[in-house]
Amino acid sequence: MISEQWARVSAELRSEIGENNHKSWIEPLECISLQAGVVEFRAPSRFVGDWVKRNYQDQIFQRLRSDNPAVSRIEFNVGTQPRSKPAAPAISRSAEGSTAPQRDTNLQGAPLDGKFNFDNFVVGKPNELAHAAARRVADGGDVTFNPLFLYGGVGLGKTHLMHAIAWELQEKRPDLQVLYLSAEQFMYRFVQALRDRQIMDFKNLFRSVDVLMVDDVQFIAGKDSTQEEFFHTFNALVDQNKQIVISADRAPGEIKELEDRISSRMQWGLVVDLHPTDYELRLGILQQKAALFAQTYGPVRIGDGVIEFLAHRITTNVRVLEGALQRLFAFSSLIGQEITMDMVQDCLSDVLRTSDRRVTVEEIQRKVAEHFNIRLSDMLGPKRTRTIARPRQIAMYLAKELTSRSLPEIGRRFGGRDHTTILHGVRKVEEMRSSDNQMAEDIDLLRRLLQS
């Protein structure tokens, strides 16, 4: 029964992730059983198993579950052994092998990822301040700002920088007790200490570190007693002039349900944000990651324009960008061919679809009208003077370029114009932009505005 269900889900996945991906990753999976809500899969190798876990686990799970609500978990095992021990719950991203310092075991924080060091951190305009501040803390000299508060959107490098600080301090100042953990782990330990009546031990432990780093502190907002305890720990350490580094997904004042006194205390130090990446930074990161992946997968030839295309298209989250490149490396080394644009389209169709920022015709009309200083109603209305008609044609052209609307659909959105009118406008702009520099510039700018 589960095998029939899997056959259905597998077929659905084929259309979702593309023929190639399906052949390489999904087909090799064997669906063994459904027991107590757990669907067990067998992968032919650890490589395939890990890959599927990283890239397709969620999709597989969600589809199986919507097909059969009894499914509560999926598991991947390798080779021919029966079900193996379930992996320990990963509280945070873990390192290859345990490279974390083994001093006082109670003082052990989350494991540090060996790749998250300063050497592997690419610096650009959007993150240079955060990087400089992190470097300063990592020098381990006198505490000049306390805390260092790093904030920014998902996947912009907060955790990477914190690990880098920890690595560097371990090397430069092995005498210092450095504790890195997520706010979630802080809470977990706190709750455990309460339960076991060891709150004094907890307090002593946290007050004895020299450098405390707490990642994703927004997590404890609204969790009253944890917040409270965190605040006391924080104050005690600051009083002893011990360095604190904190990260969050937004500025201290913007974290809802974080007590005012805590959020204002956070702002005593240095608050720096990681801005969204720009194109240059993404290029740099891709080049650097390509060098790293080559160490794992062996050298792979990357076709012309591939790196630029990825940097252009995957703009929000470095983790996604990195995952996309890794997928290409793995695939390319598997089939022994260079990474081509065709492969990109095929392997990354899912990623590219979701990172397609949907620009609407209405948005285009609004931006273009703003840019040329005309009224939106004129853009849609019948006036044919050049100062109005030209922007209108540019908007038509951009609508054709940036959306998936058909000409008749675009026509309807331009005050019910005929599709031949739209076509004429699009052609006109295509013609003119090659000779008219100003127009080409306007279009480039608008395109960037709309796609950012």
Return the residue of 49, 109, 155, 252 that touches ligand ADP, per CB under 6 A.
Answer: 155
Return the residue of 137, 214, 244, 285 that touches ligand ADP, per CB under 6 A.
Answer: 285
Return the residue of 6, 29, 140, 158 that touches ligand ADP, per CB under 6 A.
Answer: 158
- Nearest-angstrom CA–CA distance, 72 and 22: 23
Name which of ligand ADP, Mg ion, none residue 376 binds, using a CB cut-off of 5 to 8 Å depending on partner kind: none
Judge contact between 151 and 251, C-beta under 8 A: yes
Nearer of residues 215 and 229 to Mg ion, judged by Cβ: 215
| Shortest Å distance, C-beta 152 to ligand ADP | 6
Judge contact between 129 and 272, C-beta under 8 A: yes
Judge contact between 147 and 266, C-beta under 8 A: yes
Check residue 319 for interaction with ligand ADP (CB under 6 A).
yes
| Shortest Å distance, C-beta 179 to ligand ADP | 18
Check residue 322 for interaction with ligand ADP (CB under 6 A).
yes
Which residues, 6 or more positions from 364, have their beta carbon under 8 angstroms from its beta carbon? 395, 398, 399, 402, 403, 446, 450
Nearer of residues 158 and 289 to Mg ion, judged by Cβ: 158
Return the residue of 318, 348, 398, 407 that touches ligand ADP, per CB under 6 A.
Answer: 318
Q: How many residues bind ligand ADP (CB under 6 A)?
A: 17
Return the residue of 26, 148, 156, 164 that touches ligand ADP, per CB under 6 A.
Answer: 156
| Shortest Å distance, C-beta 281 to ligand ADP | 7
Check residue 252 for interaction with ligand ADP (CB under 6 A).
no
Name which of ligand ADP, Mg ion, none residue 156 binds, using a CB cut-off of 5 to 8 Å depending on partner kind: ligand ADP
Q: Evaluate the omega torsion of the peptide bond into residue 382 and state whether it is cis, within 30 degrees of 0.
A: no
- DSSP string of 256-319? TTS-HHHHHHHTTSEEEEEPPP-HHHHHHHHHHHHHHHHHHH----B-TTHHHHHHHH--S-HH
- Interaction residues for Mg ion, span 150-189 (CB under 5 A): 158-159
3-state secondary structure 364-398: HHHHHHHHHCCCHHHHHCCCCCHHHHHHHHHHHHH
Contact footprint for Mg ion (CB under 5 A): 158-159
